[in-house]
A and B are shown apart, each in its own frame.
Chain A
Amino acid sequence: MGAKILRLSAFLAGTALVVAAIRAVNWLPAALQPDVLRRHESVEEARAASGVERILVPSYYPQELGWPPSAILAQGRPYPAVVLEFARAGGRDAALVVTQWAAGRPRPEGRIAIAEVQETVRYSLRGRDAVLTVGRSPAGERVSRIVWAEGKYLFEISGKVSPVDLVKAAESMLR
């Protein structure tokens, strides 16, 4: 039994070394190039890092969501993209995610996904053509998503909120 425990410990130690090596290699690009994906403390810091001239932020939020964003992620390469996550007050899981990315590039995947689409409609968002989707997340929660283009960027707001609140948040980002 003693030999077995010793061998198991050796295996776990070896695996921990492998994990440490993986983390070290992962750290290198962020050390060498400042515009790779990273977390930021403020929207202004994210703007400077991503090269996005103007980051649109909602001024309307459903009551249960908190400000400031629970997470601000931004990258300049391989293409400019910014993600703002908002959690429910006192919570940690993202309830609203605002994504802005360079048009013509693949949509960055967000934390909130729609596994089952129930309805998709075209919507005029202050004169912009938008697509509003309502459905269920993989966990069965009600999820809404709205996507539109604005200049050089595409925007998406996904949230575990009602479509009405989602549209209000989107409209608050636009003049």
Chain B
Amino acid sequence: MDGKKELKEWWLSLDGDLDPAEQKRFEEAMEKDIVLATNYSQAKTLDHALSKQEAEQPSMRFSKNVFEQLPQLYKKINIEPLFTKRALTIGVFAIGSFSVLSIILAFFLEGTTGSVESNFWSTYIHQLSNIPKQWLLTIGLVSFCLSAVILLDQFLKKQILKKKPKVAP
């Protein structure tokens, strides 16, 4: 350690700043030198007394005084998801399915003509085919975007809840 020569050996020894060889030399020197041993003993007593010092305590009203002066700065942030998990899952699935179906039907029914048959499914397809393809594509794209936003919102909120702060060593 630089500057060790200026510092008294007994303090270096008490603080653990002497390497093993130096510590051994110091102990041997103390055995031969009563003054050195006395200084070390006094320093050790003082070090022990200093280590017994306790923190000062403020008055009983301290924390109350602090709280009386605290500004209203922070409000509770709602980080709960907008929807319950089950409703969200069903909603996303339904939106996604509808958008995929719309696009597929728009693709396959292009140019389809024909008479309306009596069952519900044929009526549905026929009515679907009458919807302009651009509308179906738009509905499909909007559905995908909405699904993506909902999933992203849920993902980010989970990340905030899970995030463990890094503390410097």
**A and B, one complex?**
no
Q: Which residues of B contact A (CB under 8 A)?
A: none
Which residues from chain A sit less than 8 Å from chain B, CB to CB?
none
